[in-house]
Amino acid sequence: MKGPDTSFQDISLRRRVVIAIGIFIVMTVVIGLYGLIAVVETNQRLHTTVFEGQELIKTVDTGRQAQVHFKRQVQEWKNILLRGNDPHLYDFHVRAFDEEDRKVNEYLQSLLNMAATMGLSVPEISETISIHKQLGEKYRDALKHYNHSDLKSAVLVDEMVRGIDREPTDKIDALVGLIKVQANNRLHTAETLAKTQLEAYRSFSAFLIFLVLAGIGFGIYNARSILNDLPPEPVETEPDNENEQT
């Protein structure tokens, strides 16, 4: 035995109105929540990407600063040997050498801390710090044999440490290159992730647009069905003049 054949028109007007209002409320809540979540996540992602990009740039710049000051330190060593016969110039260049040595150590130590904070895998930094420290010690030990009054002593001192700056130079140059590569890879990954998230937002937005259009279509259909089921308005008729006269 078949049950009664029911359709949307068989539902009471009150229920149809409630259903229509309920659907629009649900759609409004869903769209509002989605918009809020999308804005919050996009803002967080943008903030994280900008902050990480700035920190990566600082890390690369710190490596370059270590590179620059180490070259200055080596140059000050050469200035000591070239102009050290003058006691005043000797003291000046020794102080400059020590200052550059201190700056290189500071930048390398900062680079080590920043790489750890950013999650960069650069174990060569610790090795470079150790090599640079040994370099300073060898320079100072050699300088003990320097004689202001003997010009030939500069040649002898130079022979004692000749070429020892090549290894730390290569190490620091390699560090800067390695950090730049990892920084570029990190930024490329963040860019790819942002594009993927944007595509997901676009797909879900298209789905929401479909829901909105479907909701509008249902609302129009529901409104027409309600209007069709409303009783017709009474038609006002003019009184019969003949009857009034009689």
Tens-digit pLDDT profile for residues 83-98: 888 889 999 999 999 9
Instruction: Tell whether 180 is covered by a domain.
Output: yes
Domain contains 237: no
Q: By mean pLDDT, which of 57-66, 96-105, 129-138, 142-151 is the weakest?
A: 142-151
Q: Is residue 233 part of a domain?
A: no
**Three-class SS of residue 123?**
coil
Our count of domains for the chain comes to: 1
Question: Quick one: pLDDT band at residue 12, thresholds 50, 70, 90?
Answer: low
What is the residue range of 135's domain?
13-228
135-163 residue pLDDT tens: 999 999 999 988 877 878 888 888 899 88
In this structure, which amino acid lies at residue 113? N
DSSP string computed for 53-120: HHHHHHHHHHHHHHHHHHHHHHHHHHHHHHHTTSHHHHHHHHHHHHHHHHHHHHHHHHHHHHHHHHT-
